[in-house]
Structure 1
Amino acid sequence: MNKICCLHFLQCLLLGATQDCVFNEDKKEHNFGRACCRSDGLPSDKDLITGTKICCNGTLHDREGQKCCNGKLYDPEEKVCCGSELHTRPPTPHVCCGGVIHLDSTPPTLGCCGGMEMYNRTTQICCEYNGSFSVASKNNRDCCYDKDYDINKEHCVSNRVVGLGEDLCGDTVFNTSSNVCCNVTLHEIPTYPWKCCGENVYDVNSLQCCKAFKTTIPISQNCCGKDFGTNSTEICCNGVAHPKEPSLTCCGTERVDNVTTGCCAAKPYNTTTHQCCSEYMNIIIKLC
């Protein structure tokens, strides 16, 4: 036989996943990349990629006017491949579903949901997701992944169908008129003006949220670090609070004076004995 697969039949089946072997094109028995079927022992990658050849049952054939159905070549003008079997092509519109040919009308109205269940596309909807499916009436209904729901009573939240006025907090359904979800933690809606700060709710009239650390402090303070804030008498140096003094400024997490101390890459140094070489990655060197 002058047309052979690059691997023996068994090797193609066992090694297809790693060798990118095309054995039967209609079954997608190959990976992306280098094709496996060869003609006369020579690589046929170019022929397959350019669409001039078809690989069927481990053998390379001219693609024009031919398709492959479960290892059998056929003329798509005369035959239909359905359920891995060849059928005579009906003269009218048709749908293959569940391995069975179903005759359709003109214009076509039938569809196949999940590859298994017939439905009327004008009056029904098909909800498909990840191999699961359902068919329902189109009347006031929509899809939530593979489930259908009544749009007048429900809505879709993160692949879940919940009632109008409901939402999800993690995996828990809650009533939005009486509860609030803060970072997957449920709370009763407070009587005061509120916002979420991390997992907690807080009174916006008296507190503020330091979002970087998701902590609350009085509105009279400024956020500084993880556990506290600063007021008008303090200075915040990279998350560390210090008493505020006119002659002092921040250098990293420390306070330094502006007279004899400089700051080099967030590190203080004595300006009378050292200098900062900013052109050399802010290295502090001793003066000569």
Structure 2
Amino acid sequence: MREAMCRENDLPGAGWSCCGARAFNPEEATCCKDGYTNNTAVTEGLSEKVSACCGLKAYDQLNEMCCNSTIIAKPVPNAQCCDNDAYDVDKQMCCGPMENKTILTRNSSDHRCCGRDQFDPKTECCCVKEGLKTQLITSSCCVNESAVCGTKAYNTFNELCCQSTVVPKPASNAKCCEENAYDVDKQMCCGPMENKTILTRKSSDHLCCGHDQFDPKTECCYSMNNSLKIQPITSSCCVNESAVTQGLSEKVSACCGLKAYDQLSEMCCNSTIIAKPVPNAQCCDNDAYDVDKQMCCGPMENKTILTRNSSDHRCCGRDQFDPKTECCCVKEGLKTQLITSSCCVNESGAF
């Protein structure tokens, strides 16, 4: 009978829901829906609290992942998809064009992809004009693969432009902390605007509290007399500065301000909790985007989400370009130009 008809006001028990024409208990099963055909299917024995859908089949996000509509075992907690396979992002790399990628053993944490190969941006560059070939950083191709920081050219692979100053990248995922660069995995940039300091990160859970850091599992950061102080989480100050979100286990949750959210299905973008459209989604200002199929381009706080033309495309202002055939011309106000143009010859690179 449940297969033939399902009505919200005539369900078998409390907490049950409809999945198409079928009733199911979200605590014990998962409903998956095809957004194109509107077909639905129920996967029994897997609670919606820990599951996600891969097509019409549900899977356990803690132990499995969905790669190209196929459910595979997750080899490590931070694994990601490389076409149909999974790889360890700390020890491996997924390199190559869309739908023809290969998994490489990462030579170092600094190495990056160059076609289906890898290179060390400290000593090499990936030369577009040579068909994505690794070249010594002193070669003419590497010199031309630079961008502009103020009035000075710099290599985007191993340098950063921080407040119009060129600084070396300490790691591939480095970011600016005022005029300095820091490794976001090992360090933190803490403090008020124009008075920040770089701290050695004590753990991945630690957060900034003024020029210091604290562990939100055991401490809180509270304001007193216009200054920020760290106190044990059991103190009266922490009780007043904190909030409790009921019905969400800390095993799958994180905090977005004083509100907790489910990391499996939600994300925190600019202090706002939004639905996670895909497992590997990232924030683009206040919105979320699929990094495999989309790009987040544009200046700070005024970005736009574009449909990615290919895995090789890069941002050029609020547009994108193919570095194999084009460049992003600074002199033209971040405009796409053919790689054979005079502007590309002088300043090809990505922004």
Q: Shared fold by TM > 0.5? A: no
Larger RCO (CA under 8 A, 6+ residues apart): 2
Larger strand share, 1 or 2: 1
- Shorter-chain TM-score bucket reads 0.3 to 0.5
Larger radius of gyration: 1
